[in-house]
Amino acid sequence: MNLLEIKNLKMDFGKDAGALRAIDDVSLAIGEGETVCLVGESGCGKTVTALSIGKLVPTPPAHYVDGEILLNGRDVLKMSSRQLREIRGGVVSYVFQEPGAALNPVFRIGNQIKESLKLHRPDLGAPGTASARSGMARHRAGAVPGAPSRRKALDAEVIRLLKLVGIPAPESRLRNYPFEMSGGMQQRVMIAMALASEPKLLVADEPTTALDVTIQAQILDLLSDLKQRLGMAILLITHNLGIVGDMADRVAVMYAGQIVELSPARELLRRPLHPYTRALMASVPKLRGDADRLSAIPGNVPRIGNFPPGCRFAPRCPMAKPECSSKNPDLVEVETGRFVRCPFWKTE
């Protein structure tokens, strides 16, 4: 069984005549310990897809019209609010683009991580139940919230997490307020908070976009290292195909609310099949070579509610044929493990 299985998901913003489809028949699975990158230009639907895993898009305005989101085999869309609270920051944790906006400016970072631990790790400090996770186990073990052993265990865990994400001198750093830290250090704190609940799946939505290039590389290295050490799965969202090679096992390319290509990362980078993926790859800045040859994709991503008939990429596609604007092609497995939403993928 896959850790996550999104099946034929359809989600609208608005209702009835005013409904605009933002996620249109998206299917995506992530196995235990697997890293999947979700790429695509701005407005393609990456964030709404990622947020849907924790049912974090407010309903309304969102309406889940069809499909399933199975996390450990249980459909998130059918969960009660209590079950949703348990999985959010439990099974699945999020790291977002702007750490400065996500951290609370008036609390010390150590206390913010501790709050997350208090919520998700009732076992900490309970005598003899170091690995027990449920409140019931804690109750049986006789642990008292706020007891010295609990407080000590929480403090020790905050320091361990800060060390894990590479924050130097964590014993003194935990007393810092967010503004006393650089953007890169703040993002490390956000990752520590996300790890506090020992998630099976870490969703990182453009986690390095707000950082400068050197720090970006450090944060990506940190994520790879944590994945190795903790064995968690990662859904990494980026508009930069350049970072995919170092991070991903598989890549899903999204365009106008749909997945247009899904493939093992190495194969996709060696031989992209969908014209949109090819165009995206041509727009990746190369470290070496001719900077002038960097090509942006002409035109814009269509807005939801304004998708063209037929293939949604056709108006921007250099290979488009007349029939492309009449039928939206299906996502088809054209080689083992390689899915493409374009019948002309073979054309060079």
Ligand X SMILES: Nc1ncnc2c1ncn2[C@@H]1O[C@H](COP(=O)(O)OP(=O)(O)OP(=O)(O)O)[C@@H](O)[C@H]1O
Q: Which stretches of the chain bind ligand X, using CB under 6 A?
A: 13, 22, 40, 42-48, 61, 239, 303-304
Q: In what order do the strands lie in the sheet with 74-75?
A: 20-30, 4-13, 62-71, 74-75
Closest CB to ligand X among residues 170, 257: 257
- The verdict on 47 binding Mg ion (CB under 5 A) reads yes
- Phi, psi for 223 (deg, rounded to 5): -60, -45
- Nearest Cα to 201, choosing from 235, 236, 165, 228? 235
Closest CB to Mg ion among residues 123, 205: 205
Pick the stretch among 23-31, 45-53, 80-88, 249-257 that binds Mg ion (CB under 5 A). 45-53
Element (H, E) at 7: strand 4-13
Element (H, E) at 216: helix 213-230
> At its nearest, how many Å lie between ligand X and the CB of residue 307?
10
Count the residues of the shown chain that bind Mg ion, applying the rule CB under 5 A. Answer: 2
Q: Enumerate the β-bridge partners of residue 200.
A: none
Pick the stretch among 18-26, 42-50, 113-121, 245-253 that binds Mg ion (CB under 5 A). 42-50
User: From the list ligand X, Mg ion, none, which binds 43 (C-beta under 5 to 8 Å, kind-based)?
Assistant: ligand X
Closest CB to ligand X among residues 13, 276: 13
In angstroms, the CA 343 to CA 348 distance is 13
In angstroms, the CA 223 to CA 36 distance is 13
> At its nearest, how many Å lie between ligand X and the CB of residue 2?
22
User: From the list ligand X, Mg ion, none, which binds 48 (C-beta under 5 to 8 Å, kind-based)?
Assistant: ligand X
How far is residue 149 CA from its own chain's centroid?
Answer: 35
> At its nearest, how many Å lie between Mg ion and the CB of residue 44?
8
The closest residue (CB) to Mg ion is 47
Closest CB to ligand X among residues 38, 161: 38
How far is residue 287 CA from its own chain's centroid?
Answer: 26
In angstroms, the CA 163 to CA 166 distance is 5
> At its nearest, how many Å lie between ligand X and the CB of residue 29?
20
User: From the list ligand X, Mg ion, none, which binds 264 (C-beta under 5 to 8 Å, kind-based)?
Assistant: none
In angstroms, the CA 271 to CA 164 distance is 36
Given the rule CB under 5 A, which residues bind Mg ion? 46-47
